[in-house]
Homo-oligomer: A and B are copies of this chain.
Amino acid sequence: MAPTQTQSRTTTDTARALLDARYGADEAPAGVLLTETIAGLLNHRSVRAFSARPLPEGVIETLAAAAQSAPSSSNLQVFSVVAVEKPETKARLAEIAGGQKHVAEAPLVLVWLADLARLEEIGRRAGAPTDALAFLETLFVGLIDAALAAQNALVALESLGLGGVFIGALRNRPEEAAQLLGLPPNVLAVFGLCVGYPDPDRPAQVKPRLSQRLVVHRERYDASLPQDALDAYESALKAFQEDQNMPVVGWAGTALNRVRGAQSLSGRDRMRAALTALGFGLR
């Protein structure tokens, strides 16, 4: 079995600090169990400012091994990853992602793919039908496999002292991402992961999340959504934004702007058309 790590009740200052940063002091859960790995997870922050320090040798193999160790639905392994280090390709990825310059600046960008093409080709070689690949569900499996794998890679790189950030905006223009990376039909670039050593002069901080009272349900879904928990989150996020010298806009307003309508989706309102163009059946 996996080696059990040293654990202790969160009576320590470290644990309290981690949970206060993640939830705000008023909503931080009590009684949380800590291991070195869990402390690393709680301490996650999205890094967009990288130093010039080169990556260690073996990092791609390491992150790929971590990624492939994540569960895969029925062991179908319907994901792949493209490791991009060439400046011109990273610059094009940055452009596709709406001009996010950290995509160009990171020494490494891992692009996680929902990859139904591998099984299609294996079927072709075996003379076996692969008609289920054309169903929406199979694309879901690809998205989920890719996400599980990528999250393991992120956890792994943070344990090495590296930083990263996911780039969902590659989905703004899926056909361009596919063309750039030479993807065959039935493969979608789900998101990117920028990887590098964090710039110590521009440190990232832990972003607060919604209270567990809003996210964690016991036995059945509770739709009551207590307004005081939502208000507490607005306060926690505003305190974070103030501390970071960011515009103090809170959460709900920003989130609602993102889901207002087709125009607020930065091109992703045409995801169905893009997927069809990329060969997915979506049945």
Residues of A within 8 A of B (CB): 1-5, 7, 9, 19, 22-23, 29-33, 35-46, 56-62, 64-66, 68-77, 79-86, 89, 113, 117-119, 121-123, 125-126, 128-133, 135-138, 140-141, 143-144, 147-148, 150-152, 154-156, 158-161, 163, 165-166, 168, 171, 181-184, 187, 190-191, 198, 203-204, 206-207, 209-210, 212, 214-221, 223, 225, 227, 230, 251-256, 258-262, 264-265, 268-269, 271-272, 275, 282-283
Contact A61 B29, CB 8 Å, known A84-B219, A219-B85? yes
Nearest chain B CB to A194's CB is how many angstroms away? 12
Copies of this chain, whole number:
2
Minimum CB distance partner of A58 in chain B: B31
B-chain residues with CB within 8 Å of residue A33 when the two chains form the complex:
56, 58-59, 62, 160
**Do A255 and B74 touch across chains, with their CB atoms under 8 A apart?**
yes
Q: Which of A136, A158, A166, A265 is packed against the most chain B CB atoms within 10 Å?
A: A136
B-chain residues with CB within 8 Å of residue A168 when the two chains form the complex:
73-74, 141, 144
